[in-house]
Structure 1
């Protein structure tokens, strides 16, 4: 197999960041377009993790955002600068789920805007995907753990129902899971990311693809065939092709 074109391999020239590593338990099932089922005490959702958030709790992403911004469901609320909820198109067919906010994300309130996020933008652009138009980006944990430490089980569990509601409301055709932690957090699969990246996984009626985290590419700068950057190029092309097959009217020319 020949070496990718220069455009394909020159997308990844950024300085290595300190990666966020969030190891989380699997997410429970979410049913697309499930009916709205108000919890017992809706007003108390942001205040206590003991209050359930059943599928269908939120009528809109704006309603969910209001609760997230006021959330005190775990101790991360005491140290965050901003709640990091999402960015991109809430009607996108492609959702990217990250692990959790880093320092830049905590400062800006937006996911994937640091060096790894800049690399993600270049990866998407390599197949004519625009993060503002074609993608909805969010995280499993919406508040930065101090020092980018791994969140506790209680912290992950407190935040998990918000993500399930985001998935339900956005209703994407494809979900990209960036890194092993995101894979484990959503599907429960504990295999190493290098073993399952680039493979399609069906989860709750949705197509998911595990991909290498952009931060991993920054730590492994080799451009050789079979290397991380080369593998990412194969994967993102497969994602774009699948997106086209599922959404024939989707334009990749901006």
Structure 2
């Protein structure tokens, strides 16, 4: 159909319709019908290229894999807190004949997991020939930092308590703990941790051979006396600690100074324990 056959008003209407549909400019000189199918001549011809496979290379026979003997199974390490470690600690402690040997054995012992988290090994303080030996529970933050037992706030209270009955670290009492490394967060030590360290503590007591043994706190009292009784029932009552040769050592369980700092009302009971210790020393003298 020729353009002359279309009325001008119709052409104007068509142009307005194009503009309304967004067609406001022309790109080519001739219109292109995009919906018309391409002619067969314009269709691309697919070219098939015959691929000649390469000549097959004869495969080499695979070399036989040499047989190797299976490696021996590794010996499993002794797990932490194993009863074997307690036995190792006991054997190591029993082999010590002097206090210096015992301290060296404690410092070299790697079986207790507490050593991995502690800064220092806290062995003891005071003169070994003092008449009184005090055994506490475990080092705290100050003790771990300085490497000495009972040097924090509770240790200062312990010093004042012992000075009240004429005992000082300069020669009146010797002090240690059943544990030589601080438990993380000052938590209560496990039975396995107590068992390993208690092996050294018992040998410690045998080498010191004090006239009077003082157990500060429930953990120390229950461990050393091998009892399930709590400190409320044990404190203020004389017990007896037997050495390997049969020697009996008078033993007084009492409150730990840290407990007295939390419950000052119990200081009166601790004062009675101190007076009993003072009287016992006079009787033994």
Gap runs ≥5 in structure 2: 1-84, 243-247
Cα distance in 1 between the residues matched to 2:129 and 2:224: 20
Instruction: Name the TM-score, length of structure 2 as normaliser.
Output: 0.65
Cα distance in 2 between the residues matched to 1:90 and 1:162: 15
Cα distance in 2 between the residues matched to 1:72 and 1:174: 31
Residue among 200, 203, 228 paired with 1:165: 203
Instruction: Name the TM-score, length of structure 1 as normaliser.
Output: 0.73
Higher RCO (CA < 8 A, seq sep 6+): 1
What is the match of residue 217 of structure 1?
A: 260
What is the match of residue 144 of structure 1?
A: 182
Cα distance in 1 between the residues matched to 2:191 and 2:258: 23
What is the match of residue 118 of structure 1?
A: 156
1:70-81 mapped onto 2 (5 Å cutoff): 70-81=108-119
Deviation at 1:121, TM superposition (A): 0.3
Q: Which has the larger radius of gyration?
A: 2
CA contact (8 A) 1:77 1:143 kept: yes
What is the match of residue 143 of structure 2?
A: 105
Q: Does 1:63 align with 2:101?
A: yes
Cα distance in 1 between the residues matched to 2:236 and 2:88: 37
CA contact (8 A) 1:87 1:132 kept: no
* Residues 128-184 of structure 1, C-alpha deviations (whole Å, 9 max, x = no match): 111221111111111111111122222222212111111010001211111111111
Deviation at 1:53, TM superposition (A): 2.9
Structure 1 vs Structure 2 CA RMSD: 1.5
Deviation at 1:50, TM superposition (A): 4.7
Q: 1:123 to 1:181 in 2, by over 3 A?
A: same
Look up the SS of the partner of 2:264 in the other structure. Answer: coil
Q: 1:155 to 1:196 in 2, by over 3 A?
A: closer
Q: Does 1:240 align with 2:283?
A: no
* Residues 105-144 of structure 1, C-alpha deviations (whole Å, 9 max, x = no match): 1001111111110000000111111122111111111111
What is the match of residue 167 of structure 2?
A: 129
Gap runs ≥5 in structure 1: 1-47, 223-227, 249-254
Q: How many residues align?
A: 195
CA contact (8 A) 2:154 2:258 kept: yes
List 4+ stretches of structure 1 deviating above 4 A: none
Deviation at 1:209, TM superposition (A): 0.6
Larger helix proportion, structure 1 or 2?
Answer: 2
